[in-house]
Chains A and B, each alone.
Chain A
Amino acid sequence: MDLFTEGDPIADTKAPSGPVEARWDTRRFEAKLVNPANRRKMTVIVVGTGLAGGSAAATLAEQGYRVRSYCYQDSPRRAHSIAAQGGINAAKNYRNDGDSVHRLFYDTVKGGDFRSRESNVHRLAEVSVNIIDQCVAQGVPFAREYGGLLDTRSFGGAQVQRTFYARGQTGQQLLLGAYQALERQIGLGNVEMNARHEMLELVVVDGRARGIVVRDLVTGEISTEMADAVVLASGGYGNVFFLSTNAKGCNVTATWRAHRKGAYFANPCYTQIHPTCIPVSGDHQSKLTLMSESLRNDGRVWVPKATGDDRAPRDIPEDERDYYLERIYPAFGNLVPRDIASRAAKNVCDSGRGVGPTKLGVYLDFADAIDRLGRKAIEAKYGNLFEMYERITGEDPYQVPMRIYPAVHYTMGGLWVDYDLQSTIPGLFVIGEANFSDHGANRLGASALMQGLADGYFVLPSTIANYLASGPLEKVDASHPAAVEARADVEDRIRRLLAVDGDRTVDSFHRELGQLMWEHCGMERSEAGLRKAIDEIRALREQFWQRVRVPGDGEGLNQSLEKAGRVADFFELAELMCVDALHREESCGGHFRAEHQTPDGEAQRDDDRFAYVAAWEYTGTGEPAVLHKEDLKFEYVHPTQRSYK
């Protein structure tokens, strides 16, 4: 293939050797420390204020570093972690139901379809217990039992009840906990908060990350901020699909700019598609809304047996319905994992049996559950979700079955990091969804919150000290040639975006790119489709730079300009995602290649050829990227094929 070349493998991830249980202790002991008096002289930039960035900024400031924090929203409290519904996993074993750090570790490696690192995942499971303690101490109002102790539930098919939750708003409550810790440090003068600022470039001096170029979204002012280290906590890139459950502003710019400056991008093709979202209602659709996975505990998924059956769902008799999950997966039925349920929905819709105005939907029917348990019981369990559904669709799910369809929800890929969460650029650390590290090819439910807070509260604050202690770094300021050049690049790009003055809006390009990606790099990928997508992305990218219209100027608040910059980066990322998906000639987790399935249509991994992390090095837009492989070794959890029949 001419789409990429292969470079040297990644030899060392810096994880200590020895028993997996002891590695994190070993690393922390071996890490150098920074004297508290010296911490005051060191500045750390943190981009993003979600669970990872907010908790990291607060913790670093508590430790005595000077922190400069950035977010594009009007307040750090609004980062998209706030929308997480389900819960947060922790190996507390408060239920005495057989849970342990080792079991959480095992479940996460297996759930990731054996494409994550054992050392990292074990550390995540160890740290999970500290997160719950920390959040309770901050006043996070978790659900409790009548005895006053914390309630937990099972989630995402786990056999133990290890998920802590705050109604359906766990992400909000955890984020507000981190936000309040951050505001405390802002109030004390230890963190300089810059809301409504967007990072547009990374400054690399002598091979080290030493600063960022940011745009003040209110005044339009471009400035260069220098530091001793830079932490990216800027979230995932699901919005490359235009329609996703991400917030509208979520973008890849911070990590993509770092990638262009030398940071490897790992496993970009691993995206998670959530099966239970409210379907698209028309061309005006701007985003998709998740309905909690828990609905599949009582709802039955079906479509009409006949194609083109336009009758109202209640008029379709029982024997003319296809409860396809129950039919294909009799053992797990409606509770098959996310990737399986999503693909099955796509298959029935592709065969012309989808429901609703766009025919891209399947029914999730509660009639049987309401008959069996009574309306009251269903109301108690799912009342708020049913209300939300009705508000959006105008249909009453107690009377007519819900319509659902899969939607992009989370991205497992991200910037490559070593065991210390440091990227291939020294001094550039990447945490939370922005990195690739812990979920392999598929993330388990309630594990995103766990990873964000593990990285921010506990892992990064230990590992970054080791880097900072290797200093002092040479003093540099914004007049350094590398900083001046980065800033000039940003200004030039803004000028170019404004100068095109074409005949198409940014959103129209973004929508078209999203459709391309959804079609060819979504739930099912094939070699022909991906090759076609790469050609079309390139052509569309060229069109974008010739025909986009960005009204206004760069001098003040200009939301079109913000969007244009983000979409321009999505165009480049999209190509790399397709190249990654094309080169990975196997199916694993969220990556399903049509050519690689078992005779009964399930994902077929190829451990002999693909048990590695694909870390991509940037060589230029449209130029072949360089693939660096990091081999994955499984000493504790042995790869097996998943089966749900």
Chain B
Amino acid sequence: MKIMRSGITFGIIAGLLTFLFGGWSVAVIGSLMGVGLGMGLGSGLERKDPFKIAKDVAPTAVVAGAILTLLSLYQNGFVQDAIGKQPAQLNVMIFGNLIGFLGAVLFTTLLAGMHGLPEKQEQKWKMILLAVLVVAFPFIDKLTALRWTAQIIFALIFVILGLGLNIVVGYAGLLDLGYAAFFAIGAYTTGILSSPQHGLFMNFWLVIWIAAAMAAVWGFMLGAPTLPLRGDYLAIVTLGFGEIVPVLFKNLIDVTIKEPLTCWILPGIIRLFGGETTMACITLLSHEDLTAGEKGISPIGRPIIPIINYEFESSNPIPWYFLIIAIILVSVFIIRRLRDSRLGRAWMAIREDELAAAQMGIDPVKTKLAAFAMGATFSGFAGAFYAAYIAGIFPSVFDFSASIIILCVVILGGIGNINGVIVGGLVIMTADRLFLPALKDFLASLLTHTVLPSISDPVVQLAVKDNANPILYRFLLFGLTLVIMMAVRPEGLLPNAQVRAELHPEDNSVEAATPMAKNSSKG
């Protein structure tokens, strides 16, 4: 009964999503829903014979698929009319819904059934299936003309950022509210080194490492003086750095550096005693424009694959997609190794109890600095990729709200859990980049075609029209995410078992302690 309820919920949500996107989207949404539903159902069931599980979940899968298809058909028949669009062509409608339905049923039963396999095999097959889906996604997206890949790339950039911040917040337990500063440093390093502005056309494959190193160095430099501070003071200071760095990039447009001793201190002293001097003033930089201020740096060099000499283009997101997937894979690999290393265990020891950890011979300052620098490194990668992908960087992108969005990613997904952060990044950024704009268009056309003509009062009409723009409520949604997660589920959607045990001390018994050892090697 419980699994039927989640099936119905998934079906309704997925069906409503097709309202926003229309066309072929039902096929993709149906398959993705199947994957999510299958994983969710599977993990809730007992481990038994795969076929038996598949048989158990099959009715749920069919119901979910049917709800999705019905809603999608309704969308085609009535909703399209209400928002003043032509219904989809017959073949799109038939095949889209068919694929959506079959995808939903197939993936739900398949993934739920995999839970019947022994744990090692289940992991393996799930990874293979996910890998196939990840590889196939951009091509399916291109075939169905949904144009989601470009937005998914943004989500993946934030996944890397979330993974980096997770080292600082999740592993070392230091709240960093200015993480976007390192993102900015990575992006601006790339911009300055590879744009025509300063005449340096460095190769992207080199620049990405320089950007990461630069971010790490700055993480180290900003971390060194601040790390003696405790919890919330550290948070405020990092927020300060997060504010100062974009301001710097915005305002470094007319930089003059004169050596002070020769320019005014010594002459001033000499004049004070009545002497005369004509000391030469050493000028290091004179009216130099480093960052182009609000205008931003643009264009920025793109990666070129050396042997076949292929240059990435902004019109074709598929190579970018695979590049960022590769960066994520490398990052996840490094972060997992780090987490299980001596350093990673030291981070968690510091997070749990700094005093005790110090007693056990861990140097808290060094360990925290390493966390800051490592966290910054990954945002350096993300920044370099971002700069090359957008081909233009502007200081306003990296302000406080960016830091908070990255924090949202980590907190929604699950503090300290790599898989959680990946899911969190995908959820938050697809909501922000795909769902909200689509909802805005949908509401706007629904209003102009159906709702507004029926409102006679022009004041109300204007008020409704102005306020029915979900993008205006972005901050509200991010804020709500933080507040609700903190109140209801502070450990995140996919929690790290250790963090959960810490946040819910009341059920901190044997039950909570045993799966910890098992899970922490997995998550």
Q: Tell me if chain B binds chain A.
A: no
Residue numbers of B with Cβ under 8 A of A are none
